[in-house]
Chains A and B, each alone.
Chain A
Amino acid sequence: MATPAAPASGVRNGAGPEWGGFEENIQGGGSAVIDMENMDDTSGSSFEDMGELHQRLREEEVDADAAAAEEEDGEFLGMKGFKGQLSRQVADQMWQAGKRQASRAFSLYANIDILRPYFDVEPAQVRSRLLESMIPIKMVNFPQKVAGELYGPLMLVFTLVAILLHGMKTSDTIIREGTLMGTAIGTCFGYWLGVSSFIYFLAYLCNAQITMLQMLALLGYGLFGHCIVLFITYNIHLHALFYLFWLLVGGLSTLRMVAVLVSRTVGPTQRLLLCGTLAALHMLFLLYLHFAYHKVVEGILDTLEGPNVPPMQRVPRDIPAVLPAAGLPVTVVNATAKAIAATLQSH
């Protein structure tokens, strides 16, 4: 059977789109039907498909004009004109709708995809980085490598939140229920993000070679020491033990961070400024976490029961709501004032 497509291919020379064969044989805008079918497909929500379709339609129009100029048969011109106009309008509408939808979805998902490379870690890597965060490396002549990932630091911040809740709840069950979660989350995230930004700003002033991501990761892993110390000392309430751990574990993780920063800074004054600030903030934060939350409770319990209760025998108990009844603002900053207020209230 002879192929009727031969004259069509002779005219078009393979320069047009792939639907060339149908166009010549089916009346009434055959390729328009096919184009519409293509549009009705799921490609309405696909950016690339619409762009490709739009491009193809533009190419088709150009080809149609070029072919019409050579072609003497007016029937083909009429068909192409009809197809071009209708399908162009529909294509434009679909293009606009698809573009709007795609840009909305993209702006939603793009925020996640920006962070995706920072979560590309293996459990073995996280484990080794956790252990390395306690081991200072004395190499100050070449910049030490800092892993730029956010999974470990984020998980450590959440773990610190959980440990703080554990510590707060075993001592103080009723009084500050409403703000317990908020205080813990605010403290931990505020420290991680705030101190990282502040040290990054100082690093910018001191001309240190460290990026914001690296600073976030470094400080995040530095919280591992805090987690260990607080976990142990919230369960064993010995002050001497706490001081020992504070110096040892806190000191090691601080030294590690300081060594990294020293290796990336030039000049003794800059090194002193940067590392002194970081060391002071890191060690003081651990002190604050242990004593601020601890002291408030101790103050209240001492007032209510008398000072002869040894610290090891605390169990969850009903503590009458002294402070809210007095209408005093509940903050954990000034423990002495609270103890005094509680004393005054109970008299």
Chain B
Amino acid sequence: MCIEAFLLVSNCSEGLYHCVLTTSLSCCISLCVCVCVCVCVTLSRGCDTNRTLHWDCDPSTLLLHSEPGRGPLKLAMAKVTHVDFPPKEVVSYTKETQTPTMTEQKEEEDEEEETAPLQPEVEAEKEKPAEKQDEEAPPHELTEEEKLQILHSEEFMEFFDHSTRFMERALSEHVDVFFDYSGRDMEEKEGEMQAGTKLSLNRKFVDDHWSKQRVVTCLDWSPQYPELLVASYNNNEEAPHEPDGVALVWNMKYKKTTPEYVFHCQSAVMSAVFAKFHPNLVVGGTYSGQIVLWDNRSNRRTPVQRTPLSAAAHTHPVYCVNVVGTQNAHNLISISTDGKMCSWSLDMLSQPQDSMELVFKQSKSVAVTSMSFPLGDVNNFVVGSEDGSVYTACRHGSRAGISEMFEGHHGPITGIHCHTAAGPVDFSHLFLTASFDWTVKLWSTKNNKPLYSFEDNSDYVYDVMWSPVHPALFACVDGLGRVDLWNLNNDTEYPWRTADISRGGFSDLGAPGKIQEWGPNFWIQLINFFIFLDDYIKF
């Protein structure tokens, strides 16, 4: 920007000096710098009148006035303000039409010519886009016939045969070597969201023939083959000619959608376990009170052994079965809802080895719905009952039977589980209970009141289980299809992770309820090993 100052001095008859300072700007810019130049000049003319010349400070016109009647003009030093303006950028537009490829190439080449000292590599790169553009032209030339021709050719078949083999294997493998255990990469994605994002549905096991329309009553994992899972089902009301009780052994290792073994029996199966020291045997407790034994070595789907339906055994539904003991000394323990507890030898189910009535204070039979043995204990155990109370009991000794009653729940207890993680600290006195009263409670066998009550659920809680490896982690499921992972090291108010599996819309018969258990290899990469079974539970 140039400031051109024009000094016009005009003489006028009255002796007034007019000085006009004009500034001209070559063009307008958004930034305006006000220039105020104040010069006070006092000029005196040698005449009888004293004149003072001074600038008018109005920037629009700077006039040098001279007042008559002043003495001789005196010049004095004045302060001048010096301002620098940077040269203005010239913005110019070139009106060129956008023409396709050929012209662009020409422009590129022009640029190359202009910037002479270019390395050959750069030139090569610029040639490649030209090539690429040539290559893209042919796709329009391949007709459907040509494509079919290629697809039928022998070389293609050979290629396809090999490639799809590798590809299918590669696609089916889900080994994620990039997983960051610190969760840093997940944090970027999640942002604020904490709950529910690391818990994901892994698989669903449904069999159209055997498990549809049936309720899942129990789950157990094979101690010998961690991928095998047995699920027991009750009757299918819409198929009265089918067997009432079904137990399916599912295989989690392979993607196949059919069960490994199908077992059934006459009465609805209410509980099922893998016999702990007999990997081939599956034990089921049924609605009729009968205990059945299936063997996967036999080719039969029906039980190889059954307990008698007599007063010596059970006459009420058996909700709890388990094999307790060591390799050399173990028993099958079963408890029915009338409070009868029997212990059996797996070799001979024709009569119980031992039986006991579980009564509290010699009068009240305990309607047992669930039982649990603490880690390493074969004598003492805890049971949950339909009236909402928890009882501790022991099998042998002078005070065999029910010892104490713990009250706390307001509804039938659906699940009870003693702490399982082995380690230097003994947590075996702790156990969890789940109930229809929407709560999960943490107890110690040393106190008859709950240590804590977890009240984040809004429906019947159907089951609760400790993690087999992490001492502070447990999970519960409720009737709304929600699975919660609680971490006692983190927070006792809210679950650490939660997942809603009802959104799959599986059951249109009502709110889905599931029993879930932890497998031995549960702790895998923060993504839960999760079994969801397509049915609802009835009580």
The answer to whether A and B assemble together is no
Q: Please list the residues of chain A having a beta carbon within 8 angstroms of any beta carbon in chain B.
A: none
